[in-house]
Amino acid sequence: MGARPGHGKSRAGRRRHGARLDRFDHSSRAAALEAKHYVRRERDGRQFLYSSAREPRKVAAEAVRSALKNFCRGSLEELLTGHSRLGLASA
């Protein structure tokens, strides 16, 4: 899927690496992402435009929380003290 320059939206069914995407496959994936509220769909003539339904900042914050939970037992202190014990923290 290519993005329209400057819009951050992709067009359904656009060519990628020289092969046309299977319409059913693309539609089912897009529907699954829509159902999970990851993307929004809007009509543009005969095509749909998909864009992120969430702010990039919120997605980034969620990724950091997830990393803390998975690797540092949910503790920012654990992350910071672990880095200092490894000598990765700057003085």
Half-sphere exposure of 6 (CA within 13 A, CB side): 0
Confidence of residue 89 (pLDDT cuts 50, 70, 90): low
The pLDDT assigned to 44 comes to 92
**Radius of gyration for the chain, computed over Cα atoms and rounded to the nearest angstrom:** 20
Residue 41's H or E segment, with its range, is strand 39-44
The pLDDT assigned to 79 comes to 78
The pLDDT tens digits of the residues spanning 35-83 come to: 988 899 999 999 888 898 989 899 899 998 998 898 888 888 887 887 6
